[in-house]
Chain A
Amino acid sequence: MSSQTLKLKGRSELGIAALLGAVGGVVVWDALRLSVPYSHSDPVGPRTVPLIVGGLLLVCAVLLAINVLRGGRGEAEEGEDVDLSHPSDWKTVVPLLAAFLANILLIDTLGWVISGTLLFWGSVWALGSRKYIRDGLISIVMSVATFYGFYLGLGIHLPAGLLAGVL
């Protein structure tokens, strides 16, 4: 890998340092707005632990940033399915996220059967399967089966959404 890619990689890890700093900052800020009723029997109070945690995160953020700028890197995870020689394949990740997000947004309005189908179908498509009809059918069957399974087996009523009255 070129030194330029390395440098870029290093920079992007600063994002993690930024994340740690942001979370630490939020924790501390949230803790400071808590009221601490003086209590003889609760000397620790509601603020102490959050301040410690926030402090820890802020310290880590700074140290990590220093570490990254001096060249250290975290090791990306490897695995059977994972091919690290290319940068992240956003063309796959984004549709996958989109399918997940769509489900979140639509589950209550369209109902589980429809949104679950979209979720599964979208996910398999994003991950590379192009057998549209087969995938669509599998998605529908899974959604319907789990809908009934939960309804009849556990008494949990997943939202029927648009299909209320039909199912």
Chain B
Amino acid sequence: MRRLNALRLAAAAVGIALAATGCGVTGSASGSASGSAAATNAGPVTGLRIMVPNTPGGGYDTTARVAAKVMEETKVATGVEVFNLAGAGGTVGLARTVNEKGNKDLTMLMGLGVVGASYTNKSEAKLTATTPLARLIEEPGAIMVHKDSPYKSINDLVDAWKKDPSKISVGGGSSPGGPDHLLPMQLAQAVGINPKNVNFVSFDGGGDLLPAILGNKVGFAASGAGEYLNQIKSGEIRVLATSGSKRLEGVDAPTLKESNIDLVFSNWRGIVSPPGVSDADKAKLIAALEKMHGTPQWQEALKTRGWTDAFITGDEFGTFLKDQDKRVASVLTALGLA
């Protein structure tokens, strides 16, 4: 009796195992990777994996998943896998990317935040080592105050700020090294204030920063305007200036350049590949991204989410990355954080 039971159980298990292999989930994605090299340039990219160095739901994650979805819908790529490898501000993902030399199926979605994190976390892997593919989107920063704030224009603020930087608190949704920290620091440098004197208060993301602005707890806030559009429209939050090269749509505020402050800053996101990827593979990936960029679905996605198109590829992106890396390094070194 017992043996019969055991046999039955064994049969069931084997059955399950067979059925499981039948509905294989892991087979298709990784199996065909090697085949794609032989495929013509015209066919969709297969076996692509996009790594998000951040937790699900965050900015990079959303961008990656939207990109993957558009690529699938428009047959630019098939079987795209988006996965997360979070940790240490993105440097864990960066380290992994840099380690997988030559792997043409792995890409990483990253942004300005990872540049800063690679310095503050003393990461050995550097972004400049990766193979740049394309910059996708950017979001200019915004200098914001509560509607009851005494500062009516950016120049008001800068004047008061220059008089006594340590008395005016600046709120941002990142920890030191992140985009919301870099913006006010670079702004300080641009108007002649020593970054060391800036009283930066870091908040835990946009959700934590918002009540501080609404409650008029911080002198001013530096962050992306995207999360606060509703409050800006309703007048709760006043935007003194935005940091892009052009004005931000829907926001009635001048750019820093227009206000005679020499700074163009944006929180950008892009995709890179590991080092050592062959030129042919790089070209194939860039071509795919260019195709995606040209589709109406992608443009539609940009509009719905309020992302600014900032598409540059290949070497142009590489130069941009190097430049950003240098800028961030200089600010953070001046602060003693690098």
In the complex, residue of chain A having the shortest beta-carbon distance to the beta carbon of B81: A157
Determine chain B's interface SS by DSSP, over half rule: helix
Q: Are A134 and B6 in contact (CB under 8 A)?
A: yes
In chain A, positions 36-73 with a C-beta closer than 8 Å to chain B are 37, 40-41
Instruction: List residues of chain A with CB within 8 A of the CB of B234.
Output: none
Task: Please report the C-alpha to C-alpha distance between residue A137 and residue B14 in the assembled complex, in whole angstroms.
Answer: 10
Contact with A along B1-20 (1 / 0, CB 8 A): 00000100110110011001
A133 at the interface (CB under 8 A from B): yes
A152 at the interface (CB under 8 A from B): yes
In the complex, residue of chain A having the shortest beta-carbon distance to the beta carbon of B13: A137
Least distance between B164 CB and chain A CB atoms (Å)? 10
Task: Please report the C-alpha to C-alpha distance between residue A163 and residue B196 in the assembled complex, in whole angstroms.
Answer: 54
Task: Please report the C-alpha to C-alpha distance between residue A41 and residue B198 in the assembled complex, in whole angstroms.
Answer: 10
Task: Please report the C-alpha to C-alpha distance between residue A41 and residue B31 in the assembled complex, in whole angstroms.
Answer: 57
A141 at the interface (CB under 8 A from B): yes
A29 at the interface (CB under 8 A from B): no
B27 at the interface (CB under 8 A from A): yes
Contact with B along A141-167 (1 / 0, CB 8 A): 100100010011000010010011111
In chain A, positions 124-148 with a C-beta closer than 8 Å to chain B are 133-134, 137, 140-141, 144, 148
Q: Are B336 and A167 in contact (CB under 8 A)?
A: no
Q: Are B16 and A166 in contact (CB under 8 A)?
A: no
Instruction: List residues of chain B with CB within 8 A of the CB of A152.
Output: 25
B149 at the interface (CB under 8 A from A): no
In chain B, positions 185-233 with a C-beta closer than 8 Å to chain A are 196, 199
In the complex, residue of chain A having the shortest beta-carbon distance to the beta carbon of B201: A41
- Count of A-B residue pairs with CB < 8 Å: 51
**Contacts A37-B196, A40-B166; A165 near B26 (Cβ below 8 A):** yes
Task: Please report the C-alpha to C-alpha distance between residue A141 and residue B24 in the assembled complex, in whole angstroms.
Answer: 16
Interface residues on B, range: 20 to 34
Q: Are B83 and A165 in contact (CB under 8 A)?
A: no
Cβ-neighbour of A166 out of B13, B27, B336 (below 8 A): B27
Instruction: List residues of chain A with CB within 8 A of the CB of B12.
Output: 137
Q: Are B9 and A41 in contact (CB under 8 A)?
A: no
Interface residues on A, range: 20 to 34
A5 at the interface (CB under 8 A from B): no
A3 at the interface (CB under 8 A from B): no
B55 at the interface (CB under 8 A from A): no
A35 at the interface (CB under 8 A from B): yes
Task: Please report the C-alpha to C-alpha distance between residue A141 and residue B13 in the assembled complex, in whole angstroms.
Answer: 7
Least distance between A38 CB and chain B CB atoms (Å)? 9
Q: Are A160 and B26 in contact (CB under 8 A)?
A: yes
Cβ-neighbour of B26 out of A40, A144, A166 (below 8 A): A166
Instruction: List residues of chain B with CB within 8 A of the CB of A160.
Output: 26
Q: Are A144 and B20 in contact (CB under 8 A)?
A: yes
**Contacts A137-B13, A141-B13, A144-B17; A41 near B199 (Cβ below 8 A):** yes
In the complex, residue of chain A having the shortest beta-carbon distance to the beta carbon of B65: A155
Q: Are A167 and B16 in contact (CB under 8 A)?
A: no
**Contacts A37-B196, A165-B26, A166-B21; A140 near B169 (Cβ below 8 A):** no
**Contacts A140-B13, A166-B24; A37 near B336 (Cβ below 8 A):** yes
In the complex, residue of chain A having the shortest beta-carbon distance to the beta carbon of B9: A137
Least distance between A143 CB and chain B CB atoms (Å)? 11
Least distance between A134 CB and chain B CB atoms (Å)? 7
Q: Are A164 and B336 in contact (CB under 8 A)?
A: no
Q: Are A163 and B10 in contact (CB under 8 A)?
A: no
A-B contact pairs, 28 of them (CB 8 A): A35-B336, A37-B335, A41-B169, A133-B6, A133-B9, A133-B10, A134-B6, A137-B10, A137-B12, A137-B13, A141-B13, A141-B16, A144-B17, A144-B20, A148-B20, A151-B25, A152-B25, A157-B81, A163-B26, A165-B26, A165-B27, A165-B30, A166-B21, A166-B24, A166-B27, A167-B21, A167-B24, A167-B27
Extra contacts besides A133-B9, A157-B26, A164-B27 (16): CB < 8 Å:
A35-B336, A37-B335, A37-B336, A133-B10, A134-B9, A140-B17, A144-B16, A144-B20, A152-B25, A163-B26, A164-B26, A164-B30, A165-B30, A166-B24, A166-B26, A167-B20
The 10 closest A-B pairs by CB, nearest first: A160-B26, A165-B27, A41-B199, A167-B26, A137-B13, A164-B26, A40-B166, A137-B9, A133-B6, A166-B21
